[in-house]
Amino acid sequence: MLNEYFCPRVVSRLEAGGHAEIICGFLAYLHRRGHARLTVQIYVRQVELFLQWLAQHRRPLRSINEAIVRSFACSRGRRNGPSGDAHAAVRHLLRHLRSAGIVSARPPTRTPAVERILADYGSYLERTCGLAASTVRDRLHYAREFIQSVFGSGRVAWRRVGPRDVQSFIAQYGEDGRFAAAGKAAVSLRGLLRWLKLAGKVSPSLIGAVPHFRRWRMASLPTVMTDDQIRSFLAVFDRSRPSGRRDYAMALCMVDLGLRVTEVADLKLEDVDHTAGTIRLICGKSRRDRVLPMPRRVKQAILSYLRRGRPDSLDSQVFVRHRVPVGVAVTRELVRGVMRRAYARVEGCEDWTGTHALRHTAATRLHRAGADLKCVADILGHLSIDTTAIYAKVDVDRLAEVALPWPSSKETRP
């Protein structure tokens, strides 16, 4: 099967590398899943490099796990830029090796006791704290990671938790190269410990062991695109292809309407009213439904995708996958990946990763076009206008009109 995907020179190299059997089995796994030819070639190359990396570090193949996969992906990222392909490829390899029995199955992490704890904590976050579903999901993710890091698959005994466990859990994000997640993990862990303190299960002093990552409110400006960057960004998407029409429509939903990545991924067919020209967003982060008017080009982009791009699907979401598994609703990660790859082709945006810059751009353009902050807050779904106030800071022209002149030396004399 190697000859179907690679030229003779590459086939000779793969067969002589000492891991031909593993690579051939992995290639067959990718072929059965129906991955695109280029994807197969990229993944096989990353796995080849991974096997060489294991040999250099004297790690046997049977010992690999998720931590080793992340370590390899981080090492690739430091030397060669974004490590998304490396991470995805080796995760697929790990899945294949486990199904083949070459690597031990992932140890069970969801014990009934842990699930009961997380269910009670999730109920507290939702009913008592009033957090949005997406925030609850993130908090539970970090809570589960903390419990696993301290207790593994053993019995959960909170009295055994000490400051060193707390600090080691946060420090591992820096060791694995997940620096951006360290702050979120600290906030989530602090919330978990406060809940446990209320239940009398941990000492109040344990909360103080969680490191703080200071972020001063209103201290920075939101990252926004210029008009030229917006044009270049939207021109990246190849609308002659079905997936390009999908990606273009998703991008417009963010650039023109300021939708969050979750709102784009969760948008359903019944939420789009083509006759009225509106989009209905059901219970977003602010827990309020809102109906937004669709600008003309957003409406045209969505209709073009639905009529000439969207594959047959049993899912009710507007945007679905065009690769394996075809027709399944897109995820937040897929939407982020699409936008990240588009950023890489726009001058000045090459290092951007998230999608909030597009939401910032939409809000800034609305404000500059004359919309007041209350209108912008309603469109974005902000509960508090204070959250929207930061966009006034980027309207330099209006700020110049209200700025007082700097007093001269004569004016300051008594």
Mind telling me the catalytic residues? 260, 285, 356, 359, 382, 391
253: Cα separation from own chain's centroid: 17
Q: Which structure tokens are listed for 349?
A: 């945006």
Q: How many CB atoms lie within 10 A of CB 395?
A: 13
Distance CA 240, CA 247 (A): 12
Angle of CA points 190, 192, 196, to nearest 5° = 115
Rounded Cα distance between 299 and 273, Å, is 9
At which residue do the structure tokens 């080796």 appear?
90
Rounded to an integer, what distance in angstroms lies between the CA atom of residue 170 and that of residue 182? 6
For the record, the structure tokens of 271 come out as 């939420």
Q: How far apart are CA 326 and CA 315, in angstroms?
A: 11
Decide: helix, strand or coil at residue 329. strand
Phi and psi angles of residue 26, each rounded to the nearest 5 degrees, phi first: -65, -40
DSSP state at residue 327: T
Residue 252: how many other CB atoms lie within 10 Å: 23
Spell out the residues 6+ positions from residue 212 whose beta carbon is closer than 8 angstroms to its own.
186
Neighbours of 145 (CB within 10 A): 18
What does the CA dihedral 390, 394, 399, 403 come to, rounded to 10 degrees?
80
Of 215, 216, 255, 219, give the one whose Cα is nearest residue 390: 219
Please work out, in degrees rounded to the nearest 5, the angle formed at the alpha carbon of residue 61 by the alpha carbons of 55 and 66: 105
Whole-Å CA distances, 59 to 63, 66, 251, 351: 7, 14, 43, 33
Amino acid at 224: V
Identify the three-state secondary structure at position 37.
Answer: helix
- Please answer whether residues 195 and 202 qualify as being in contact, where contact means their C-beta atoms are separated by less than 8 angstroms: no
